[in-house]
Structure 1
Amino acid sequence: MLILTRKPGESLYLGDNIKLKILNIQGKQIKIGLDVPDDMTVYREEVYLKIKEQNRQALESSQQDLLAAATLWLEKESK
């Protein structure tokens, strides 16, 4: 992990088109401004992790559904 020190009002760039600016520090909270391309999605970590888990569950369900369908198809073919 890269660790950088920035003061309020200072910025840093990620590549050519992502700018992070420290807006304010108050107690244990830091307010960050992000300039990102319009087509880039930004998630808070807890939302991102929830989406990943839901996608994993959906994939697992899809695989189970496919196996069930294949079993039914094989049963139908053997009759």
Structure 2
Amino acid sequence: MLILTRKANQSFLINEDIEITVTEIGGDKVRIAIDAPKTVKILRKELVEATSANKEALENSNLELSQIKSILSKSYKVIK
């Protein structure tokens, strides 16, 4: 793991086509900007982990797809 120290408005590059810029530092938050080609997938780690956990829970579930749709339709409008 590489650890860098940057101030607001300073950047670093990944390869030659991805630029990460610290845009704001305040309190316990840092705002960054990522300039990358549209072909580069950028995902928040917690969303990837949640998606993975949801898939695993679904695979381990004994519910049929129709049962899942029924449960979801009670709380959300299901798009068919």
- Percent identity over the alignment is 28
Residue number in structure 2 paired with 1:48: 48
CA gap 1:16/1:60 in 2 versus in 1, 3 angstroms: farther
Aligned-residue Cα RMSD (Å) equals 1.8
CA gap 1:28/1:37 in 2 versus in 1, 3 angstroms: same
In terms of mean alpha carbon deviation, does 51-60 or 9-18 score higher?
51-60
CA gap 1:55/1:37 in 2 versus in 1, 3 angstroms: farther
3-state SS in 1 of match to 2:24 = strand
Superposition map of 1:1-79 within 5 A: 1-56=1-56
Taking structure 1 as the reference length, the TM-score comes to 0.65
CA gap 1:8/1:48 in 2 versus in 1, 3 angstroms: same
Q: Deviations over 1:5-37 (max 9, x none)?
A: 000000000111111000000011000000011
Q: What is the CA-CA distance between 1:57 and the residue it aligns to?
A: 5.3
Structure 1 runs, 4 residues or longer, greater than 2 Å off: 51-61
- Aligned residues, how many? 61
Taking structure 2 as the reference length, the TM-score comes to 0.64
More helix by share: 1
- Aligned counterparts of 1:51 and 1:10: Cα–Cα separation in 2: 33
5+ residue gaps in structure 1?
A: 62-79
1:46 alignment partner AA: E
